Amino acid sequence: MRSSFTVLALACMAVIITPAHSDAQSLKGSKKSVDLQNQIAEQHDFTFISTTSQAKRFVELGYLVHVTSNGDYRVNRISHPYARPEVELFVSRLGRQYRNACGEQLVITSLTRPTSRQPRNASARSVHPTGMAMDIRRSNSRACRSWLEKVLLSLEGAGVLEATRERNPPHYHVALFPKQYASYVDRRLADAEKDGGAVAVAYRVRSGDSLWSIARKHGTSITELRTANELRGSRIYAGQMLTVPAGR
């Protein structure tokens, strides 16, 4: 049984920087969009990672987390499967919604890319080296493409990301705004609580945590934690984002 926690993609939120979208909402990309992505990276004081060793060091420090595949999404042969924790949360929620809507896995084809590992056709101002961006494969299904594009445009309008439809190869470039997205999730949870519904919470794993300690702290069970997060075993890691079901 799936968790009751679902980050809905069609709500607005207050953001730290409110982008003007007079020429946006098309997924065509623009200089203004790239400017905004870099402005957000600067606002977050993100480092543009230059090497593989630096990326791994950022994982050790908890600035980046390892993003792994599950039943809803697949990380497709990525050399640097790391991202900001909020990006992992976004991929997890979007993947679940996408799988429910389309019946297929969301496919992630790129996450953090050090500047030394950027492809030739990449923009010199790409924010992939910061860990706040991802590429999503374009589905062969027209219905799935339509669903995903509507969701991305809605979230772009809410000010939590910038998305661009790329052609070579066919994919969607998505730059997530971590602080803005985290506020969006918090707001959705607060709204659900006001409605009196029992909801799950997003929990970032800390050093020394175990499924048992997290379950005990939140009044739930290890089985429910595994089910909510589609975990096959008990292994978790510091920085990982988990959905914790509301205790009974």
Q: What is the model's pLDDT at position 4?
A: 36
Residue 15's pLDDT is 37
Written as one letter, the residue type at 159 is: G
Q: Which residues are paired to 71 by β-bridges?
A: none
At residue 13, the pLDDT reads 33
Name residues whose C-beta falls within 8 Å of residue 91's C-beta, 6 or more positions apart in sequence: 67, 73, 83, 106, 108, 134
The residue to which tokens 């089985």 are assigned: 223
Q: What is the pLDDT of residue 219?
A: 76
Q: For the whole model, what pTM was predicted?
A: 0.71
**Structural domains in the chain plus CATH codes:** 31-180 (3.30.1380), 198-243 (3.10.350.10)
Q: Return the structure tokens found at 74.
A: 């697949």
Q: 17, 178 in Cβ contact below 8 A?
A: no
Question: Rounded to the nearest 5°, which phi and psi values hold at 23?
Answer: -115, 15
Q: Which amino acid is at 18?
A: T
Region label for 103, one of left (φ > 0), alpha (ψ between -120 and 50) or beta (otherwise): left
Q: Decide if 97 contacts 110 (C-beta within 8 A).
A: no
Token code pair at residue 22:
């007079």
By the 8 A CB rule, do 36 and 159 touch?
no
* Distances in whole angstroms, Cα of residue 148 to Cα of each of 4, 62, 151, 155, 171: 21, 30, 5, 11, 11
- H helix runs in 103-129, sequence order: none
Give the HSE-up count for residue 106: Cα atoms under 13 Å, Cβ half-sphere: 26
Distance from C-alpha of 174 to C-alpha of 172, rounded to nearest angstrom: 6
pLDDT for residue 9: 35
- Work out the angle between the directed axes of helices 142-157 and 85-102 (0-180°, nearest 10): 140
Q: Which amino acid is at 209?
A: D
pLDDT at 107: 97
pLDDT tens-place string over residues 165-183:
999 889 999 999 999 999 9
Token code pair at residue 99: 């799988």
Tokens 């914790």 belong to: 244
- pLDDT for 85: 93
Give the Cα separation of 202 and 190 in Å (integer): 12
In tens, the pLDDT along 104-153 reads: 999 999 999 999 988 887 888 999 999 999 999 999 999 999 999 999 99
**End-to-end CA, the chain:** 16
Residues of the chain with pLDDT under 70: 1-25, 192-199, 246-248
> What is the reported pLDDT for 50?
96
